[in-house]
Chain A
């Protein structure tokens, strides 16, 4: 049966149907609805999990990692500044090789402080050892959390997984979500019975121990890399089992009208829905445009991306993030995936949607015309920061109120 759920409530249901043992929490906009929902269920005895509010995200992630190191199935959630406040732990607990699921509700990073989404927060964590699944819809948020536990707990992986959803545009948007029966979810996941990490009186174990020397350190870091690579296979297995049980299939990447596409937009998360609309609009005008949505960001599915983009006439990556001094983050990763491909298309780079900024039809049109020109000439235009004339005029008004006329 389908219910109308916000992205946040879908995330809470993911934790509930994963039958988690422990939920360390700390509130931050726009994640709060997730932990409020879970807190109410825990208080009412509707879920057996223990819910505890910590003193910070740093403590929250420590408690979560430590509980997982003691053998509990752990769920937690944060956003933006909270993710950064707990950043040290992302690396630390990933190194403990403890599987747990962290939902990040994406929100632009200060400064200036804001509330609406972009992906600088979650992408800052891309080197941490936490795997990353980025969701486009509320259904995908729920489904990805179930899949995330299955992937994280697989003995070939044993790494935390971050499931990302966009603040506001997904966290507070209601969409129909199909929730499985408790028993079905339980069969899909099975019980978490760690064979590698525990804290027990009868079987003492030292975890998180120091190492001396680069070779020992490298060994353990390489183990994490190999485990993350294993997650590509494990994701496909988890996706196949998920489809068998629940009828929905998720790939490493997601394509829309890609089959005969000559030109491709690459996007991620909920703004990919705007990309789909742009594809439909272009198609109605006879342009063979398609969309590739990045879903699994870590491990980075290089081969799937190479296959999806090889032979296209031009590709535009729209990064909803900005690495200051570099530009878009994922365009470089996509380029890496394509570099060894003989038949690689011109790769155009756009930054847009920062702090939830709209990406308008007009901007998509500009990108499509750039793509057509690049396809025709083989030339790649310089990276662009999307900003419309109307937005520039609005900004001039604000600047003049601030007494900064003539600036900008």
Chain B
């Protein structure tokens, strides 16, 4: 184990220095923001965040930016292509002696699941295929959060949204990404900051695509008390619904945390407005059982 990884043993090992400063317009209790704040502590200030349209687009509103690094908003569908342009430009300008090597930055795509799972798949696929040396941070709040939590293809089965009744299972983005054999990919949760920090630190070793799917409990879209973001973040993982895992290149998927005894999904579903119809006016036991079966089947494969 490298010295850097050994450095993240517990919360005290996480830097107290902030690289994303407070006072932004994101909702109170934004789980995605907490995940990004933790990631930024590992990435530092020599970064450019290349953003796709979504909740986080409103982080930088003229004339303010909360980032100690740089920022470039692109479009909803093409942030990875923006990362490509910046990375290529810095590489060629450094090679031509027009930019000093010490002015180089890490290029980090910041995009929500709405962009990531659907519109930006083409540009993401291209960037991974070209083995672009970049980071991808997807804050997965399981909906088009910024427009009112309409369904995206990350929306889980059973969740009611303003546009759907929750009949579809969410896409398995981790496996879609993994099929490209990126240098590194992982899922992270802001409720598991040591696991998150270790993964970002580990990914620094790799040149190429470093892809992170961050659980982003969303009080506004999922309809729960903003004070409970980390409670839902914990339940998301402890029920097994959001497995914490990683893979290096074409290596195996490694689960970095497996709940010793998984909590019933009902504990997670109950209390979120988007699942209220599973409990009121009458309990939809069959639907809840189906969600539980999906989780059990996943972990049965993992544990087999």
Q: Which residues of A contact B (CB under 8 A)?
A: 21-22, 24, 48-50, 52, 54-56, 58-60, 62-72, 74, 88-89, 92, 191, 199-212, 216
Known A21-B96, A62-B123; contact A52-B84, beta-carbon cutoff 8 A: yes
Residues of B within 8 A of A59 (CB): 78, 80-81, 84, 122-123, 126
Residues of B within 8 A of A72 (CB): 88-89, 92-93
With both beta carbons as reference points, the residue of chain B lying nearest to A207 in the complex is identified as B72
With both beta carbons as reference points, the residue of chain A lying nearest to B45 in the complex is identified as A204
Residues of A within 8 A of B81 (CB): 24, 54-55, 58-60, 62-63, 66
Residues of A within 8 A of B253 (CB): none
Residues of A within 8 A of B71 (CB): 205-209
Q: Are A22 and B78 in contact (CB under 8 A)?
A: no
Once the chains are docked, how many angstroms separate the CA of A383 from the CA of B69? 57
Known pairs A68-B89, A204-B67 / 20 extra A-B pairs, C-beta < 8 Å: A21-B93, A21-B98, A55-B81, A56-B123, A58-B78, A63-B85, A66-B89, A67-B86, A67-B88, A69-B85, A70-B93, A191-B98, A199-B90, A200-B70, A200-B103, A204-B70, A205-B71, A209-B60, A210-B62, A211-B62
Q: Are A67 and B89 in contact (CB under 8 A)?
A: yes
**Is B150 in contact with chain A by the CB < 8 A criterion?**
no
Known A50-B92, A54-B126, A210-B61; contact A66-B82, beta-carbon cutoff 8 A: yes
From A49, A60, A65, A68, B92 is in contact (CB under 8 Å) with A49
Among A58, A92, A210, max chain B CB count under 10 A is at A210
Residues of A within 8 A of B104 (CB): 201
Q: Are B75 and A92 in contact (CB under 8 A)?
A: yes
Interface residues on B, range: 35 or more
**Is B280 in contact with chain A by the CB < 8 A criterion?**
no
* Nearest CB on A from B158, distance (A): 34
Residues of A within 8 A of B57 (CB): 210
Q: How many A-B residue contacts, CB cutoff 8 Å?
A: 164
Once the chains are docked, how many angstroms separate the CA of A200 from the CA of B102? 9
Q: Which residues of B contact A (CB under 8 A)?
A: 45-46, 48, 50-51, 57-58, 60-62, 65, 67-75, 77-86, 88-93, 95-96, 98-99, 102-105, 122-123, 125-126, 130
Q: Are A69 and B65 in contact (CB under 8 A)?
A: no
From A55, A200, A206, B99 is in contact (CB under 8 Å) with A200
* Nearest CB on A from B66, distance (A): 9
Residues of B within 8 A of A92 (CB): 74-75
Once the chains are docked, how many angstroms separate the CA of A331 from the CA of B79? 39
Once the chains are docked, how many angstroms separate the CA of A235 from the CA of B17? 50
Q: Are A55 and B123 in contact (CB under 8 A)?
A: yes
- Interchain residue pairs with CB less than 8 A apart (29): A21-B93, A48-B95, A49-B92, A55-B126, A56-B122, A58-B123, A62-B79, A62-B81, A62-B85, A63-B84, A63-B88, A66-B74, A66-B84, A67-B85, A67-B89, A71-B99, A72-B93, A89-B75, A199-B89, A200-B70, A204-B45, A204-B70, A206-B65, A206-B72, A207-B70, A208-B71, A210-B58, A210-B62, A216-B62
